[in-house]
């Protein structure tokens, strides 16, 4: 019998992963919440070693915010098992098969784009906003197939997709791959208060609890909050890790600094305090959104697994985006949920999914939030306010109904919109 090289690599990766996994079904018997690959990567050097590493560098590169987010997650273990920017073998394998060359599942490439090949073979000091983040051993420089990357990662080559447009017009022509040596301990020195590393979040989680992680790139409105309360009740003996991404996102979204202000004031709302109590934990994530739909859902699951999550909430149209010309969706409403469920057993992270949460009211005696399935079954009127309309009203200072958003969240600064 002939066994393919790919199957052998994949079977070996499963055997070496964070527990015992069946090569046919992908079912794992590892400890839920274990890091991807079995151990949390920590690339931070001690002080003396860091000074020597900086002294040994022979090139310097100032990073964009997007690139700096990737470096921060790499050196602190958010992208475990990666220990640096992907080299060509990993990059091509992830693009083609959604797996590292080792066989480990990975949703999207993590690469450092540069303009030319001049940094190959050098020790490159990576800086951002006046801070030395890391030194990269630039082992490889390669020219990617961006058309193939776009089609595989985003499901399209259309520049009406914001990340495809960025890939083709803004990212450098070459990718630089190699091992990283971290110079900055923690996230807060670069990103500010409330940004906690995987190790810090893990240390803060109560033992014996299931951890339900929630990814968000917008202010938390009442529909989100109702979903979180439901999840906390439905997942036995659980806490909710509210883990918003606060790095770059698509044009038109509320910027990270303003989103953080909305999260801070939300936690002072009486309704939040009544329901959340000690069951909700917060940490901000320095991550640059790709709007890659199903593949990005896997990326988020892996990141939250590294932060200690045993469960991950995937809502309607997670990490989705619309055409900049036609406003048509690039992904189906539940494609991300389906992708997450497909790989849930292998990652040993359970997908928590709900139909869309909607508000019913204004007619009859029944009002409040429920799933759209229940509302339609009961023939109840659904009140709607789109994200686009919300941002429009936020910009102009128009009234936003209290059923949609918490008052203090709406009162947060309204001038932090991108685009």
Distance CA 189, CA 195 (A): 9
Low-confidence ranges of the chain (pLDDT < 50): 1-30, 413, 415-419
From residue 323, give the alpha-carbon distance in Å to each of 49, 85, 255, 318, 320: 48, 30, 20, 16, 10
pTM of the full structure: 0.89
Q: Rounded to 5 degrees, what angle do the CA atoms 201, 206, 211 make?
A: 70
pLDDT one-digit tens code per residue, 56-68: 999 999 999 999 9
**Helix pair angle (162-169, 146-154), 10° resolution:** 170
* Of residues 88, 104, 86, 100, the one with CA closest to residue 37: 104
Question: Residue 358's beta-bridge partner residues?
Answer: 370
Domains of the chain: 5-189 (3.10.400.10), 194-411 (3.40.50.620)
CB contact at 8 A, 292 and 249: no
| SS3 assignment, position 84 | strand
Instruction: State the DSSP string of 152-181.
Output: HHHS---TTSHHHHHHHHTS-SEEEEEEEE
Spatial CB neighbours of 157, under 8 Å, sequence gap ≥ 6: 147, 150, 151, 164
What is the edge-to-edge ordering of all strands in the sheet holding 311-313?
280-282, 238-242, 210-214, 311-313, 350-352
Spatial CB neighbours of 43, under 8 Å, sequence gap ≥ 6: 74, 75, 76, 77, 83, 84, 134, 180, 181, 182
Distance CA 404, CA 363 (A): 17
Tokens of 215: 């990814």
Spatial CB neighbours of 384, under 8 Å, sequence gap ≥ 6: 358
Distance CA 206, CA 240 (A): 11
pLDDT one-digit tens code per residue, 15-30: 334 444 444 444 433 4
């Amino acid at each position: 019998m002939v066994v393919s090289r790919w199957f052998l690599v994949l079977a070996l990766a499963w055997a070496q992963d964070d527990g015992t996994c069946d090569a046919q079904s992908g079912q794992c018997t590892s400890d839920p919440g274990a890091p991807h690959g079995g151990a949390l990567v920590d690339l931070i050097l001690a002080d003396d070693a860091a000074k020597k590493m900086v002294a040994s560098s022979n090139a310097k590169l100032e990073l964009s915010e997007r690139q700096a987010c990737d470096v921060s997650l790499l050196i602190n273990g958010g992208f475990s098992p990666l220990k640096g920017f992907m080299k060509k073998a990993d990059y091509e394998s992830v693009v083609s098969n959604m797996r590292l060359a080792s066989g480990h599942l990975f949703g999207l490439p993590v690469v450092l784009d540069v303009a030319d090949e001049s940094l190959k073979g050098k020790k490159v000091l990576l800086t951002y906003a006046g801070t030395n983040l890391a030194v990269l051993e630039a082992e490889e420089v390669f020219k990617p197939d961006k058309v193939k990357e776009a089609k595989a990662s985003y499901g399209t080559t259309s520049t009406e997709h914001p990340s495809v447009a960025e890939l083709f017009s803004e990212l450098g022509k070459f990718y630089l791959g190699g091992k990283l040596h971290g110079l900055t301990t923690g996230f807060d020195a670069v990103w500010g208060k409330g940004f906690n590393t995987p190790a810090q979040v893990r240390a803060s989680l109560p033992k014996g609890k299931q951890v339900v992680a929630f990814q968000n790139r917008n202010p938390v409105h009442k529909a989100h909050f109702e979903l979180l309360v439901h999840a906390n009740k439905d997942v036995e003996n659980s806490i909710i890790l509210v883990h918003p991404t606060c790095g770059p996102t698509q044009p038109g979204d509320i910027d990270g600094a303003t989103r953080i202000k909305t999260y801070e004031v939300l936690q002072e709302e009486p309704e939040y305090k009544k329901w959340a109590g000690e069951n909700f934990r917060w940490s901000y994530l320095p991550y640059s959104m790709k709007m890659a739909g199903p593949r990005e859902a896997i990326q988020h699951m892996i990141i939250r697994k590294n932060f200690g999550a045993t469960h991950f909430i995937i809502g309607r149209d997670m990490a989705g985006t619309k055409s900049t010309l036609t406003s048509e969706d690039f992904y189906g409403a539940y494609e991300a949920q389906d992708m997450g469920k497909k790989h849930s057993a292998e990652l040993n992270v359970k997908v928590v999914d709900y139909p869309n949460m909607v508000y019913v009211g204004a007619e009859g005696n029944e009002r409040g939030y429920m799933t759209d399935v229940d509302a339609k079954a009961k023939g109840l009127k659904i009140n709607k306010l789109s994200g686009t309309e919300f941002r429009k009203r936020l910009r102009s200072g128009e009234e936003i109904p209290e059923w949609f958003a918490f008052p203090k969240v709406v009162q947060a600064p309204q001038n932090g919109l991108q685009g």
